[in-house]
Amino acid sequence: MINNTFFICETNQITSEIEKAKGIILNRNMNDIWSALLIEVKGSNLIIKSTDRNIFFESTIPIVSKTDFKVLINASNFYDAVKAFSLYKEIKIIFDGNNNKLEIMGESKDEKEEYEDHLKEPTFSYEEIENYNYDMINEDYTFEIEIKQKTFKKVINRIAFSAHFDESKNVLNGVYFTKDEDSKLLLVSTNGHRMSICKAEVIVEEDVNFIVPVKIFNFLKHLMSGEGMVKIKSSDKKFYVEFDNYKIACSLINGNYPDYKSIVPKEQKNRSLVSLVILKDRLARVNLYVDKSKKLVLAFSELQLKLLGEDLITGRKGEFFIKNPNYLYDGLDEIMAINISYFIEAISVFETSKIEIQFNSGNVLKLSEPENFNFMHLIMPMSLG
């Protein structure tokens, strides 16, 4: 059995990567292997793996090491131990395989100086490592594309917030991958009351029809630097992404996604252009008056857009207005109610000076950028009563 093997790494880098890996884990039972990280030393690389058994995370960082080995260690304990050495630029981590221990020490540049700080943390057995192992690479991936990180991150920001965050909602808890009539990659998400549809400028040759849990996208958008490319793959069971020093996979959601095309209005008679900056300002103000119902009343007319928030219990009421030149409207006078939280979240992902709002009387509200057909957001109306 290997004894007293070690590696040396930058303290800040390994602390950051352990924190990211730890964020995947749901189980906090110290004695359960699914609360652990798998640490693999391979040549001059340290590979950190974690999973909640639906999402699989892998990060690779450079180290100095002479011996390859594996260690399974409780994620929270390892993170706390490494973070305790934050004042050291580098740390030395020794694995005592005979006693199933990791010893962490501040790495001194001066060979004559004794190490003063060190910690010991227990590790799991070799048998438990074998029970933990997972493989993301040896999967029969039938779909594969590459896309710019910047583009994919923008798509995620516009899609992820619209899905249902209750995992019991099955397909509504996911993002649907498909392609449009021009074979461009299309992503759709909905919680049953709102929907985002976003097109990526990537041509897809294969048939695309799978649902990815939204949880992975909320994780990805915090990891992506925005530079370089993202490799995306899928099989009939898994979704896989690879970028920078990360490899991440998850199990797909089984089921049939709702017919999103039937929800998109073919033609809408009422159309307005509104300054996005002014709209955000008015929504922030009127939100102070909206009660727990989250109901925002919008009154469209040729001269102005009125935003009304009211608390029926306390009697508090706020009315705010947007007028020309920050508001243009073509249509009949209309009054409708929508969920203000949905509205605020939706407009936050637009990158435009003016936002286009279209609707028919009593029908779904469509938000988009003028002359841009790559992204739209739909919000179902609420009862005015």
- Report the greatest alpha carbon distance in the chain: 84
* Structural element, H or E, at residue 339: strand 334-339
Q: What is the mean pLDDT of the chain?
A: 92
Percent of the chain exceeding pLDDT 90 equals: 79
CB burial of residue 112 (10 Å; 0-12, 13-18, 19+): exposed
What order do you get walking across the sheet with 304-310 strand by strand?
317-323, 304-310, 295-300, 334-339
Distance of CA 155 to the CA centre of its chain: 11
pTM above 0.85, yes or no: yes
Q: Residue 43 — pLDDT band, cuts 50, 70, 90?
A: very high
Structure tokens at 192: 């049953």
Residue 354 in this model has a pLDDT that exceeds 70? yes
Q: What's the pLDDT score for residue 166?
A: 87
Residue 115 in this model has a pLDDT that exceeds 70? no
The residue behind tokens 């990815």 is: 212
CB burial of residue 113 (10 Å; 0-12, 13-18, 19+): exposed
Helix 149-159 and helix 214-223: axis angle, to 10°? 140
Q: What's the pLDDT score for residue 2?
A: 44
> What are residue 338's phi and psi, to 5 degrees?
-140, 165
Region of residue 4 (phi > 0: left; psi between -120 and 50: alpha; otherwise: beta): left
Q: Residue 117 — pLDDT band, cuts 50, 70, 90?
A: confident
The radius of gyration of the chain from alpha carbons, rounded to an integer in Å, stands at 26
- Classify strands 304-310 and 354-359 as parallel, antiparallel or unpaired: unpaired
Per-residue model confidence as pLDDT tens digits over 1-25: 345 689 999 999 999 999 999 998 8
Q: What's the pLDDT score for residue 231?
A: 96
DSSP state of 235: -
> What are residue 219's phi and psi, to 5 degrees?
-75, -45
Q: What's the pLDDT score for residue 31?
A: 83
Instruction: Give the C-alpha separation, 347 to 281, whole Å.
Output: 11
Question: Distance between the two ends of the chain, CA-based, in angstroms?
Answer: 73
Omega prior to 325 cis, within 30 of 0? yes
Is 113 strand, coil or helix? coil
Helix ranges (DSSP H) in 65-196: 75-83, 126-132, 149-159
> What are residue 72's phi and psi, to 5 degrees?
-110, 120
Structure tokens at 204: 């897809």
Q: What angle do CA 261, 346, 271 make, to 5 degrees?
A: 65
Q: What's the pLDDT score for residue 107?
A: 64
Q: Residue 110 — pLDDT band, cuts 50, 70, 90?
A: low
Region of residue 183 (phi > 0: left; psi between -120 and 50: alpha; otherwise: beta): left
Q: What's the pLDDT score for residue 50?
A: 95
CB 149 within 8 A of CB 224: yes
